[in-house]
Structure 1
Amino acid sequence: MSQPVALITGITGQDGSYLAELLLDKGYTVIGMHRRSSTLNFERIHHIQDRLILEPGDLLDEVSMMRVLRSYRPTEVYNLAAQSFVQTSFGQPVLTGETTALGVTRLLDAIRMVDPQIRFYQASTSEMFGKAQEVPQSELTPFHPRSPYGVAKVYGHWITINYRESYGMHASSGILFNHESPRRGLEFVTRKVTHAVAQIALGLAKKVTLGNLDAQRDWGFAGDYVRAMWLMLQQDEPSDYVIATGETHSVRELCERAFASVDLDWERYVEIDHRFMRPAEVDLLIGDASKARNLLGWAPMVSFEDLIETMVKADLALLNAPLR
């Protein structure tokens, strides 16, 4: 049997790096598509970079995607590339739409023209639920996005379904709830908090400024969630799956847990700044992953408490590391 080949867009991101590790361990040839940039950042994949094939390409340019598909003939494509920061999407709504929404169409159409037998994974998100119509949210819960990012992801989700139904493509979407790790970008609240905790513990900072402490999310570990992505593309039939822990925690709980891991009282170091409040906040997001549990045999392995402590320890180690 020939070695399977997978193409990952957004391979330099958190999810891309964990997925690349998983696929390499399973014997895949992994192609990583990245944008040409004056400041390429391969930090998250540096430890496996010599085992990857990296190719320039862009979700804004369908021709570049067709070139990569024709050159390597992947059996699976994982679309993880997007403008994925919610706050940024309010300031750059058009760019977010071009990349996060229309980019999915360009990639699906490139696959349809090059090889419609390729199995496709689309990274959908719990932000599509936004003003949640029910709690918890499942694959049948209506969408009501509350940000340009969420709106763009709804388009990407439905165009994936459309190509599946119109062209018989094996195209699946994972409606992933928040998933974090030490590789999370510093602009995301979990990493912002754990990195600040490490700085404060080491005497490098005195406070951290946050927005809405009452915002609640269903937070899991990114390494668990990429396993679900792979499982979706191993099924005989394509479908859509909610991937979540089924537990919800507030930003306040996040702060309590993170500061407690270094024996500090969070209330002494956290300040509120309304500039960090979203123009439209989402309601209670908590996922019902019953379908994934029953059909994929998937379940999260890392608890919220262990995840946050691991992230704090990683940031302490990062800040303590000698300069190169």
Structure 2
Amino acid sequence: MRRALVTGISGQDGSYLAERLLADGVEVHALHHPSEARDRPRPAYCPDEVVLHIGDLTDHKAVGGLVRELAPDEIYNLAAVSSVARSWQEPELVEAVNATAALALMDAALRAQQRTGAPVRFVQASSAEIFGQPEQSPQDEQTPVRPVNPYGAAKARAHAGIAEHRERGLHAVSAILYNHESPRRPAQFVTRKITSTVAAIARKRADRLVLGNLEARRDWGWAPDYVDALVRAARADLAQDFVVATGVAHSVRDFVSAAFARAGVDDWARYVSVDSDLVRPVDAVELRGDATLAHDVLGWTPTVGFTELVARMVDADLASS
């Protein structure tokens, strides 16, 4: 039986990935941060079959020991401080988790491979934020890496580390993930903030949705589709980097409009206000990905479009409100 180690199990991608790997007959182990374990011994949506290991990704020695003990066939590094806004407030933490710890995990994977002689397949969850303010749209694997915020800068360092470890013989993949959403997205993210607040407004339990830049444009996809791309990349014959995206960008305004429409609320503009404090210091105007390589090499294609994605999130929040 193949064995996988997943970091970031408490996030939406971690839970979907665990479900996918288990369905494939893989033995799944996951790193569960001590602070999260105190509040919730098993993360939300985490299947019971997943073997949890309490640990901090920034404890390089302990994590290296876990990799040595498990000798996994596949490692998926999804753990990250995932808020761009928070990266401006805590850049040192973001660097430690998103860059330094990721590089240390790659080193541990390579050492495990060298020690046992068995190949280890490593997938790093990267981000479109590594491209910053791109001069071209859509972006692909050849687009210059020019991050404009601490989150993107840390992810860019881990992205570069993947190429270095690939040169050293590790089957290392950087999956450059564009925005992807689901009802499992935590409430502090703008998409869940939108859908949960819209549901509350529809239920007459709220009267205002406060947002930042309504014109920011993103390429939004369905999280389980993106997890499928991670697994395909891990098991591809050749290790290389892949942009994972739908190729279609929408504005935050579009997302808001679609959410209110799904909830059956007319004249949505009267419920929405903009708070300048919520606008990022630097916000990429449009990030839109070209996933041609993932399509051609991995046979990957998104299955859920923008309108359906928003509808599924709104429906889930209406059902729970």
- The AA in structure 2 aligned to 1:158 is A
Q: How far off its partner does 1:318 sit? A: 1.7
Q: 1:91/1:41 Cα in 2 relative to 1: closer, same or farther (>3 Å)?
A: farther
Match of 1:16 among 14, 17, 32: 14
Hey, what's the Cα distance between the residues in 1 that align with 2:214 and 2:187?
17
One-letter amino acid of the counterpart of residue 286, structure 2: L
Cα displacement (A) at 1:70: 2.4
Q: Distance in 1 between matches of 2:33 and 2:188?
A: 20
Match of 2:300 in 1: 298
**Does the alignment pair 1:219 with 2:220?**
yes
Give the deviation of 1:106 after TM superposition: 1.0
Partners of 1:32 and 1:54 within 8 A in 2: yes
Q: Deviations over 1:143-164 (max 9, x none)?
A: 1212100000000000111111
1:196 matches 2:197: yes
Alignment of 1:56-67 (within 5 A): 56-67=54-65
**Paired residues of 1:217 and 1:250 also in contact (CA < 8 A):** yes
Q: CA deviation at 1:12?
A: 1.1
- Amino acid in the other structure paired with 1:280: V
Measured in 1, the distance between the counterparts of 2:274 and 2:128 equals: 25
Q: Offset at 1:45?
A: 2.3
Q: What's 2:178 paired with?
A: 177
CA RMSD of aligned residues (A): 1.1
State the distance in 2 between where 1:61 and 1:97 align.
Answer: 14
Work out the percentage of aligned pairs sharing the same amino acid. 45
**Hey, what does 1:131 align to over in structure 2?**
133
Alpha-carbon shift at residue 114 of structure 1 (Å)? 2.4
Counterpart in the other structure of 1:210: 211
8 A contact 2:31–2:54 mirrored in 1: yes
For 1:177-196, what per-residue CA distance to the aligned partner results, in whole angstroms no more than 9, with x for missing partners? 00000001111111110000
Looking at structure 2, the residues matched to 76 and 44 of structure 1 have their Cα atoms a distance apart, in angstroms, of: 23
Q: Structure 1, unaligned stretches of length 5 or more?
A: 320-324
* Match 1:33 to one of 16, 31, 34: 31
SS in 1 for 2:263: coil
Distance 1:187 1:284 in 2: 22
State the alpha-carbon separation in 2 of the partners of residues 94 and 5 from structure 1.
33
How far, CA to CA, are the matches of 1:7 and 1:106 in structure 2? 15
Q: Distance in 1 between matches of 2:304 and 2:197?
A: 22
- Determine helix, strand or coil for the equivalent of 1:150: helix
**Secondary structure of the structure 2 residue equivalent to 1:185:** coil
TM-score (norm 2): 0.95
**Structure-1 residue corresponding to 2:240:** 239
**Partners of 2:172 and 2:286 in 1: how far apart?**
29
Q: CA deviation at 1:268?
A: 1.5
Post-superposition offset of 1:67: 2.3
Question: Is 1:106–2:104 an aligned residue pair?
Answer: yes
Flag structure 2 segments of 5+ consecutive residues without an equivalent: none
Within the alignment, does 1:84 sit opposite 2:99 as a pair? no
Per the TM alignment, residue 43 of structure 1 is displaced from its structure 2 partner at its CA by 4.4
Code of the aligned partner of 1:39: D
Matched with 2:259 is 258
Q: Quick check: 1:276 aligned with 2:283?
A: no
> Is the Cα–Cα contact under 8 Å of residues 207 and 271 in structure 1 kept in the other structure?
yes
- 4+ residue segments displaced more than 4 Å: none
SS of 1:27's partner is: coil
Separation in 2, partners of 1:285, 1:309 = 22
- Shift of the alpha carbon at 1:232? 0.5
Q: Whole-Å Cα distance in 1 between the matches of residues 224 and 204 of structure 2?
A: 31
The 2-side partners of 1:67 and 1:317 are apart by 43
2:82 & 2:4 partners in 1: Cα distance?
A: 22
1:45 partner SS? coil
Q: CA deviation at 1:133?
A: 2.1
**Counterpart of 1:281 in 2: which secondary structure?**
coil
Please list the CA deviations of residues 32-53 of structure 1 after superposition, one character each: whole Å capped at 9, or x if unmatched.
111111423744324x1x2110
Q: 1:322 corresponds to which residue?
A: none
Aligned to 2:50: 52
Q: What CA deviation, in whole Å up to 9, does each residue of 1:225-261 have, x standing for no partner?
A: 0000000111121000000000000000001000011
Match of residue 157 from structure 2: 155
In 1, distance between residues paired with 2:28 and 2:243?
25
1:56-98 superposed Cα distances (whole Å, 9 cap, x missing partner): 1222111221222122221000000011110000000000001
Instruction: Give the structure 2 partner of residue 164 of structure 1.
Output: 166
The answer to whether the Cα contact below 8 Å between 1:93 and 1:148 also exists between their aligned partners in 2 is yes
Say how many residue pairs are matched.
314
- The residue type equivalent to 1:20 in the other structure is A
1:282: how far off?
0.8
Q: TM-score, normalised by structure 1?
A: 0.95
C-alpha distance in 1 between matches for 2:272 and 2:23: 41
Match of 1:118 in 2: 120
**C-alpha distance in structure 2 between counterparts of 1:42 and 1:89, whole Å:** 26
